[in-house]
Structure 1
Amino acid sequence: MDVDAYLARLGVAWPAAADLETLRHLQERHLTAVPFENLSIHLGEPVKLAEEALFGKIVERRRGGFCYELNGLFAALLRELGYAASLHAAQVFRPDGTLGPPLDHAAIVVELDEPWLVEVGFGRFSRYPLRLSGVDAQSDPDGEFLVLDAPHGDVDVVQDGKPQYRLERRPRPLSDFVPMAWWQATSPESHFTKSLTCSRPTSQGRVTLSGDRLIETVDGVRHEVVLPTEAAIRTAYRVYFGLPLTRLPTPPGESPLTSGALSPTLP
């Protein structure tokens, strides 16, 4: 991995130490610089869970991605910087409180003096690492978080009173997530094929582009506008997210969902 290029993508200098302060800075910068987006699914681009392919997409082509891509590559960067970072599977809670399928999400755990949950691939979530051994509420610019014991040694992560996902304790290689990444990218039942999103936090809130809807939250106040033309949408991708798209993604329901177009590649 070209660590210098990755750090330049994040706008940070080579860290002096692999400590918690640096980890907090790296997570915040990654969230700010690299958007959470599922555009590949609606552009007919292959989803490749291999480090070289992810580096090419996120660093060289300055794109974003979804959980397996963002946390998969960020975990590799952290290991290059001297952190003990591993990927862990999680099941995402549905709105009705039931759990999604196994390996529904990939998160990062970093071992320092204690284990820390690091997250750059879940959309609106914590700006900074969360103590996995913490029993008290943890305040963050994006909410209040609790880490609770769950069955079989797993842990539930709760944000502002709402459970977000159930995290496995055991580490997994990136290749374990390939089948579920394929399902997320191709199944009509996946929320990623049903929606089009590109989002990142800002200093005052969050900005999201969903199709032709530009949504900005500033100091808790939500503003939404409908962009009238393709040129305006393309400009928004460039200005708000730094994405120089040569073509726009196809709206949900019309995207190519063939296994040939979107077949994931093993690391």
Structure 2
Amino acid sequence: MGEFDTLFRQRIGIPETETIPFEKLDLVLEKAALAIPFENMRVIEQQTKAITKENVMSKILVEREGGLCYELNSLLYFFLLENGFDAVLTRGVVYKPAERAFLTIGRTHLTIVLRHQGRQYLVDTGFGGNLPLKPVPLSGETVTSANGEFRVGRTDSEYGSHVLEMKLKHKDTEWRIGYAFDPERPIAGLFECDEIQTIIADHAESPFNKSPLLTQLTPTGNITLTNATFTEWVDGRVTKESIDEARFKALARRYFGWRDWD
């Protein structure tokens, strides 16, 4: 394997010589979720770069930052290809439960569809605290992980032919939609990732260009940091702290390894 594969394995903590069959993908997804945060710092700082394999490798594997869906899932996609998997990237539309509506800024979620032994699976490591942590079959079966229950259902809408549905552990009592997507419409090239990034960075209705957001799963729950609050879930119990700028920077360094404050 090459440099990319080696650096990815080092970042998430799996042996460089270990073979990764389909049955071990849940381990890869769990370790990636615990090691790499979902965060928008480069968008906030207006320091985005084109989405290429080299740039994503540099940002997340060398500089050890996190990223948004179009970075985190493209990173995983490259790793899957290098390890012999049949995978494609496709775009989706995120659902906002509070508004009971899909985002109106377009297909700004990037996810992965993987084919294995004639079956298709959704694989996602770029959906913030909503990660399935396992491949989710497109045939409708429910999968259960440390983060909750997940399934993919069919739909007939302008937003996609399938939807990811979830019941997050300790948070949801009923199924809710995460996003709609089209497994049969893979992206035409990485330029579509740049299109997503441009919308996320520049659109007036983008949820990610207003203020910092950093979130990551932990062995006991998850943590979320904004410029106003720090929220921590531990074994189903939540604590929320109001913070100022100095506290934000300290927590970003401590929990997310963010160091570029000068």
State the TM-score, normalized to the length of structure 2.
Answer: 0.86
Which of residues 152, 163, 175 in structure 2 aligns to 1:156?
163
Quote the Cα distance in structure 2 between the aligned partners of 1:83 and 1:129. 15
Q: Which amino acid aligns with 1:234?
A: K
Quote the Cα distance in structure 1 between the aligned partners of 2:95 and 2:86. 27
Are 1:195 and 2:211 counterparts? Answer: yes
Query: Shift of residue 207 of structure 1?
Result: 0.8
Higher strand share: 2
5+ long unaligned stretches in structure 2: 168-174
Corresponding residue for residue 152 of structure 2 = 147
Q: Is the 8 A contact 1:47 1:181 kept in 2?
A: no
CA displacement 1:58-77 (0-9 Å, x = unmatched): 11111001000110111011
Query: Shift of residue 40 of structure 1?
Result: 0.8
Greater Cα offset, 170-179 or 50-59? 170-179
Corresponding residue for residue 106 of structure 1 = 110
Q: Which amino acid aligns with 2:194?
A: V
Corresponding residue for residue 30 of structure 1 = 32
Query: Shift of residue 210 of structure 1?
Result: 0.7
Which of residues 46, 70, 73 in structure 2 aligns to 1:71?
73
Quote the Cα distance in structure 2 between the aligned partners of 1:202 and 1:50. 28
Describe the SS at the equivalent of 1:145.
strand
Query: Shift of residue 156 of structure 1?
Result: 0.9
Describe the SS at the equivalent of 2:112.
strand
How many residues matched?
246
Quote the Cα distance in structure 2 between the aligned partners of 1:218 and 1:137. 24
Higher relative contact order (CA 8 A, sep 6+): 1
Q: Is the 8 A contact 1:89 1:102 kept in 2?
A: no
Q: Which amino acid aligns with 1:245?
A: D
State the TM-score, normalized to the length of structure 1.
Answer: 0.85
Quote the Cα distance in structure 2 between the aligned partners of 1:126 and 1:17. 23
Q: Is the 8 A contact 1:27 1:128 kept in 2?
A: yes
Q: Is the 8 A contact 1:107 1:118 kept in 2?
A: yes
Quote the Cα distance in structure 1 between the aligned partners of 2:242 and 2:50. 32
Q: Which amino acid aligns with 1:158?
A: E
CA displacement 1:137-177 (0-9 Å, x = unmatched): 32222222221111277211111211111111122132223
Quote the Cα distance in structure 2 between the aligned partners of 1:63 and 1:203. 20
CA displacement 1:5-59 (0-9 Å, x = unmatched): 2211111113533322321111111111110000111112124211111111111
5+ long unaligned stretches in structure 1: 248-267
Q: Is the 8 A contact 1:126 1:141 kept in 2?
A: no
Describe the SS at the equivalent of 1:123.
coil
Q: Is the 8 A contact 1:27 1:129 kept in 2?
A: yes
Q: Is the 8 A contact 1:15 1:22 kept in 2?
A: no
Corresponding residue for residue 182 of structure 2 = 168
With over 3 angstroms needed to count, the CA separation of the structure-2 counterparts of 1:240 and 1:127, relative to structure 1, is: farther
Quote the Cα distance in structure 1 between the aligned partners of 2:101 and 2:155. 14
Quote the Cα distance in structure 2 between the aligned partners of 1:121 and 1:67. 4
Q: Is the 8 A contact 1:47 1:182 kept in 2?
A: no
Which of residues 236, 239, 250 in structure 2 aligns to 1:220?
236
Describe the SS at the equivalent of 1:150.
strand
Corresponding residue for residue 253 of structure 1 = none
What's the % identity of the aligned pairs?
A: 26
Greater Cα offset, 65-74 or 174-183? 174-183
CA RMSD of aligned residues (A): 1.9
Q: Is the 8 A contact 1:116 1:132 kept in 2?
A: yes
Query: Shift of residue 219 of structure 1?
Result: 1.0
Corresponding residue for residue 242 of structure 1 = 257
